[in-house]
């Protein structure tokens, strides 16, 4: 082996030795688990429609059930195993968001209810909320500025 | 007479070699599965070790390992002058709570991965400088408390890359004395962070 003399050489050496993530396998698992979660959501939605619930309420019911299931599985220490297997497949749907709020709440319970659970609950989801909401405000402003002629409140 | 101990840019040679009298280590379940398991004094089956939180478990690790090392060395607590200890948690709580009952003056250190060597360097310098005759040096960490402190909650469903590192669950303690039959600390070279 030739001696490592510069930072670039060292970086090259590290890249050579570091095992890569199994990207294809991860993508495949993420695809089918994510698809399955969405399919479950759709099944719940269709069932609500059959039972005669209107569309808006059906969507709310779907969100509520998926969030509850994810939060419940998190507390049983099952969701992190699904997450390890499926990655973004379980992280990107609403299930991942529920998990990212419940898991800090569980972890920081040992520090008390106010300064532990209350203060640390959004350590993972907080940045998503801040930038998600900020972006939606900016997009909303652009919409109002450039689309005043046919502004429709949905 | 002043004896200059510095050699070169950043190395130091101790005037009298400092003796490592006794060591002790207690580790967690993952370390038990590793190739070094036969060298540890005790391996835990469970990361909580009967405590209510990860931090309390880490404190218990420090306390038990410290007691084990001191009892193996045969030096009474009252003859130990300093305890140099550190961990990864805020305000070194694992060490400071862990050594509350053993009644030895405590100097908390933080050097992340280097805490153990750091404590040995400081401990041997104290002995070489005739400030102390016997000291204990310790470092501890706990996978779960370190994840909570620095990364994500354990229950978060994220993926770890195959090259990601795993913080040790465990504690190591060394008892340093002025005289003894070795092994010895003779010199040390702290690295510059550049």
Domain-located, residue B126: yes
**Residue A90 falls inside a structural domain:** yes
Pairing of strands B134-141, B11-27: unpaired
DSSP-derived 3-state class of residue B98: helix
Give the pLDDT score at A150: 64
Q: CB A99 to CB B148 under 8 A? A: no
The per-residue pLDDT for range B3-19, each reduced to its tens digit, is 778 888 899 999 889 99
Domain count, chain B: 1
| Residues of A at the B interface, defined by Cβ within 8 angstroms | 18-21, 26, 74-75, 77, 79-84, 86-87, 90-91, 96, 99-100, 102-104, 106-108, 110, 124
Domain that holds residue B12: 6-153+166-188
Of B54, B157, B162, the CB nearest to A79: B157
Average pLDDT over residues A31-42: 94
Q: What is the ipTM of this complex?
A: 0.76
Cβ neighbours of A83 in B, within 8 Å: 156-159
Q: Rounded distance, CA B153 to CA A103, Å?
A: 6
pTM: 0.83
> Which CATH number belongs to the domain containing residue B114 in this structure?
3.40.47.40
Residue B161 resides in a domain: no
Domain that holds residue A112: 23-146
Q: Note whether residue A30 is domain-resident.
A: yes
Strand partners, B22: B175
pLDDT at B34 over 80: yes
CA distance B22 to A80: 41
Structure tokens of A128? 């998503």
pLDDT-derived band at B22, boundaries 50, 70, 90:
very high
Residue B193 lies in a domain: no
N residues, chain B:
194
How many distinct structural domains can be found in chain A? 1
Contact B46, B29 (CB under 8 A): yes
What value does the mean pLDDT take over residues A21-44?
A: 93
Q: For residue B127, what pLDDT band results from cuts at 50, 70 and 90?
A: very high
* Spatial CA neighbour of B84 closest among B188, B190, B174: B174
């Amino acid at each position: 082996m030739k001696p490592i003399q510069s930072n670039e050489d060292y970086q090259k050496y590290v890249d050579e030795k570091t095992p890569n993530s199994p990207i294809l396998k991860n993508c495949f698992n993420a695809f089918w688990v994510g698809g399955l979660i969405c399919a479950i959501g759709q099944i719940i939605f269709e069932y609500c429609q059959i039972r005669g619930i209107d569309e808006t309420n059906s969507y709310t019911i779907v969100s509520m059930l998926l969030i509850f299931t994810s939060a419940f599985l998190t507390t049983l220490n099952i969701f992190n195993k699904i997450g390890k297997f499926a990655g973004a497949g379980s992280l990107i749907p609403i299930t991942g968001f529920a998990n990212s709020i419940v898991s800090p709440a569980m972890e920081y319970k040992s520090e008390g209810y106010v300064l532990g659970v209350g203060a640390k609950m959004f350590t993972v989801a907080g940045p998503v909320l801040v930038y998600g909401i900020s972006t939606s405000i900016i997009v909303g402003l652009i919409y109002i500025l450039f689309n005043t002629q046919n502004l429709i409140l949905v | 007479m002043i004896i200059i101990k510095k050699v070169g840019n950043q190395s130091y040679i101790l005037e009298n070699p400092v003796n490592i009298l006794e060591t002790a280590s207690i580790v967690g379940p993952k370390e038990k599965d590793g190739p070094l398991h036969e060298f540890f004094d005790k391996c835990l089956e469970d990361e909580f070790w009967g405590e209510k939180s990860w931090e309390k478990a880490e404190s218990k690790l420090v306390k038990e390992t410290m007691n084990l090392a001191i009892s193996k060395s045969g030096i009474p607590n009252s003859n130990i002058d300093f305890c140099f200890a550190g961990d990864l948690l805020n305000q070194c709580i694992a060490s400071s709570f862990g050594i509350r009952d053993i009644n030895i003056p405590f100097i908390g250190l933080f050097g992340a991965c280097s805490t153990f060597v750091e404590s040995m360097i400081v401990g041997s310098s104290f002995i070489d400088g005739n400030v102390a005759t016997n000291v204990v040096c310790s470092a501890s960490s706990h996978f779960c408390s370190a994840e909570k402190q620095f990364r994500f909650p354990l229950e978060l469903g994220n993926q770890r890359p195959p090259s990601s590192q795993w913080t040790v669950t465990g504690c190591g303690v060394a008892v340093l004395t002025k005289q003894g039959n070795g092994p010895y600390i003779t010199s040390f070279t702290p690295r510059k962070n550049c």
